[in-house]
């Protein structure tokens, strides 16, 4: 609990105790025995009123001074001060005490109780965001002259070796060059299990080193690292308001002046009609109705609970490793009916591995060795998979005359032998007859000294949760799933069949993916939302074009993360369905609060205008509804069971 919250709570307890004592003394007729022109009871009630409401009166005064009159502070100040004004009026101009001052203090007291609940709820939401902000590293360790020097992470250039000791945060993205340890990535991904890392492992900033000392070669500037991008996304999220929030803001700007004018009319017009009709105007009764009308009319429940619901939803999602860039995207995500996937890096790991060697005349190990050496100058994932399968350090002195033939493959001299490694087109170009392969995947054919020597099958691996993710989307109400990929048709259809995807389009260029998404958008129903999930730089145009773009945060390219509206920090496709469920729960709570608050408000306003509702019902209509709406809004934080 903050200092401010403790002060409010102390004032609430003090004011409530004094109000209770005053009511007991009044029932014992203690005040009637004490003479005085200004009754002691009135003085004590005013003291109690100022204890609990001085800050509201101050805010109302500032609003009037700044010409921003119509807000909840003004309504509360006018209504409660007006109740006191009724206390000091009677037909003879003498001071007279009735029950209104008791109600005035009670209204202000319960309003402050509502404000306390609201402050507590917002604080609870903010703590989730603050915990996320704790991933910001304060320093980076660089080894100089045999000792560690702490420097600002923003001063560390790429390719610098930094040292991360146990208990410290990884300040910048990089690759482990020395050491073994476990990393706590829960603040980034929502995953509580530690991650084992060792030499050659890529690590992301914001993780906490749990055990061993790590030396990490940085691959990015601090400003481009994962931790910086996450913090930027979270800090900017609140600025993007949903349609529901915009509606409430506009509603409050029109509603508050309207009810103030209505209350004034209720206080003045009926007595004037009575005067014209030559009957008693009964001013105090109509003014009391108007003051009750003002208290009832406070739009606190809507103005506070709706933004709070979205704020809590964003905080709860971020705690699960789902970063949503604004409440407008949260609202859009809840309407998702079509989910379109890129394949590589999204539904599959994007890590190619050698799965088979066929028709080798020189032995599998030797064929892999020749292929890895011939491809040693390429950084393509296919080349890296060949080098990984070879499993030894590449001796480049054994390789000469490397020539890359675009769209075909590579030729090179390895140990003096002419090696050709590539697709069927390369074999045909060289006039070499190749064996046909019926396996699914990328096929690398090899010829040595002009003679066909066999082929290697390289396949991408499906993510372990992909099938479950597609099933979860169906359960979440997604009507259609589509996969778009640049891969061969056979490979794409096999993956789609394995995972249970409704529709697949293969052998697409980036521009073709945009065209396919355009077609799907044109075909969908008016209020349905199309979400696209991708990770590569070539997915950025599609992520921008879709109604809602979802990017993989770990494997994803910077361009994809920048273009997306939602970022999954652990690259788990299962989180897509969870993000949709979180958004739908949050929007459901928003609609509940809007319906409940408006229904109660308008019913009580009608009762207040007719003189049926008193100030106590007004307290419930204002403060009670606000407290219930705020407590309901806090439920958006609870996303664990979704």
Q: Which segments of 173-264 are extended strands (E)?
A: 174-178, 181-184, 195-197, 202-203, 208-209, 214-218
3-state secondary structure 506-555: CCCCHHHHHHHHHHHHHHCCCCCEEEEEECCHHHHHHHHHCCEEEEECCC
Of 71, 100, 173, 342, which residue is the catalytic one?
Answer: 342
Strand 480-484 versus strand 503-505 pairing type: parallel
Which residue, 570, 550, 559, 585, is CA-closest to 314? 585
Burial zone of 450 (CB within 10 Å; 0-12 exposed, 13-18 middle, 19+ buried): exposed
Q: Are 555 and 564 in contact (CB under 8 A)?
A: no
Residue 114 · residue 630 · CB < 8 Å: yes
Pairing of strands 451-462, 442-448: antiparallel
CB atoms within 10 A of CB 481: 21
Is 342 an annotated catalytic residue?
A: yes
C-alpha 421/C-alpha 371 separation (Å) is 6
Structural contact between residues 277 and 599, judged by C-beta atoms closer than 8 angstroms: no
The label of the residue with tokens 């009135």 reads 42
What φ, ψ does residue 102 adopt, rounded to 5°? -60, -45
Helix (H) or strand (E) holding 281: none
User: How many Cα atoms sit within 13 Å of 413 on the Cβ side?
Assistant: 5
State the alpha helices, DSSP H only, in 377-420: 381-390
DSSP E strand stretches across 58-118:
none
* Edge-to-edge strand ranges of the sheet holding 336-342: 322-324, 566-568, 548-552, 529-534, 336-342, 480-484, 503-505
Residue pair 248/306 in contact (Cβ under 8 Å)? The answer is yes
Q: Which of 582, 37, 26 is nearest to 312 (CA)?
A: 582
C-beta of residue 42 within 8 angstroms of C-beta of residue 36 = no
Strand order across the beta sheet in which 195-197 lies? 195-197, 181-184, 208-209
The C-alpha atoms of residue 363 and residue 358 are separated, in whole angstroms, by 10
* Separation CA 531–CA 513 (nearest Å): 13
Please state at what angle helix 625-634 crosses helix 300-319, rounded to 10 degrees: 10
Catalytic residues: 342
């Amino acid at each position: 609990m903050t200092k401010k919250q403790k002060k409010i709570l102390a004032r609430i307890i003090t004011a409530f105790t004094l109000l209770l004592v005053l009511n007991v003394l009044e029932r014992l007729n203690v005040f009637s025995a004490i003479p005085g022109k200004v009754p002691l009871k009135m003085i004590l009630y005013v003291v109690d009123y100022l204890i609990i409401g001085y800050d509201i009166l101050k805010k109302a005064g500032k609003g009037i001074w700044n010409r921003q009159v119509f807000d909840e502070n003004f309504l509360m100040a006018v209504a409660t001060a007006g109740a006191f004004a009724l206390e000091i009026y009677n037909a003879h101009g003498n001071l007279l005490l009735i029950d209104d001052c008791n109600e005035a203090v009670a209204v202000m007291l319960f309003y402050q109780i509502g404000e306390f609940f609201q402050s507590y709820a917002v604080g609870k939401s903010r703590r989730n965001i603050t915990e996320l902000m704790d991933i910001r590293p304060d320093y980076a360790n660089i080894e100089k002259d045999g000792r560690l020097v702490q420097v600002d992470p923003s001063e560390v250039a790429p390719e610098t070796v930094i040292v991360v000791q146990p208990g410290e945060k990884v300040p910048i993205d990089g690759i482990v060059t020395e050491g073994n340890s476990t990393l706590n990535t829960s603040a980034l991904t929502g995953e509580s299990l530690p991650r084992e890392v060792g030499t050659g492992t890529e690590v992301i900033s914001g993780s906490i080193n749990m055990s061993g000392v790590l030396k990490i070669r940085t691959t990015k500037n601090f400003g481009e690292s994962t931790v910086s991008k996450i913090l930027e996304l979270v800090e900017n999220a609140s600025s993007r308001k949903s349609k529901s929030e915009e509606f409430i803001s506009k509603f409050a700007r029109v509603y508050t002046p309207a009810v103030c004018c209505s209350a004034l009319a209720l206080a003045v017009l009926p007595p004037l009609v009575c005067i014209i009709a030559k009957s008693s105007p009964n001013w105090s009764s109509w003014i009391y109705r108007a003051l009750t009308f003002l208290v009832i009319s406070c739009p606190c429940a809507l103005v506070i609970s709706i933004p709070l619901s979205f704020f809590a939803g964003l905080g709860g999602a971020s705690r699960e490793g789902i970063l949503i860039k604004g409440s407008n995207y949260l609202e859009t995500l809840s309407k998702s009916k079509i989910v379109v996937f890129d394949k590589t890096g999204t539904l599959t790991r994007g890590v190619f591995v050698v799965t088979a060697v066929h028709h080798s005349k020189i032995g599998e190990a030797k064929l892999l060795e020749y292929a890895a050496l011939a491809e040693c100058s390429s950084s393509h994932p296919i080349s890296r998979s060949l080098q990984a399968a070879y499993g030894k350090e590449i001796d480049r002195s054994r390789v000469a005359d490397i020539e890359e033939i675009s769209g075909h493959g590579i030729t090179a001299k390895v140990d003096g032998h002419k090696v050709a490694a590539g697709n069927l087109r390369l074999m045909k170009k060289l006039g070499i007859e190749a064996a046909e392969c019926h396996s699914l995947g990328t096929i690398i054919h090899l010829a040595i000294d002009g003679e066909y020597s066999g082929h290697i099958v390289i396949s991408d691996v499906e993510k372990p949760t992909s099938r479950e993710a597609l099933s979860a989307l169906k359960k979440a109400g997604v009507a259609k799933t589509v996969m778009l990929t640049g891969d061969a048709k056979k490979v794409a259809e096999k993956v789609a069949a394995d995972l249970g995807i409704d529709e697949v389009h293969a052998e697409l260029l980036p521009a073709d993916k945009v065209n396919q998404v355009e077609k799907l958008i044109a075909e969908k129903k008016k209020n349905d939302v199309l979400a696209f999930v991708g990770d590569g730089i070539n997915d950025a145009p599609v992520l921008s074009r879709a109604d809602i773009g979802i990017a993989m945060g770990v494997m994803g390219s910077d361009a994809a993360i920048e273009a997306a509206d939602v970022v999954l920090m652990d690259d788990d496709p299962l989180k897509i369905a969870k993000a949709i469920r979180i958004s739908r729960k949050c929007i459901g709570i928003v609609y509940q609060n809007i319906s409940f608050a408006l229904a109660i408000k308008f019913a009580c306003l009608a009762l207040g205008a007719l003189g049926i509702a008193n100030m106590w019902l007004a307290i419930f209509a204002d403060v009670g509804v606000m407290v219930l709406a705020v407590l309901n809004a806090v439920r958006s934080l609870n996303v664990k069971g979704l």
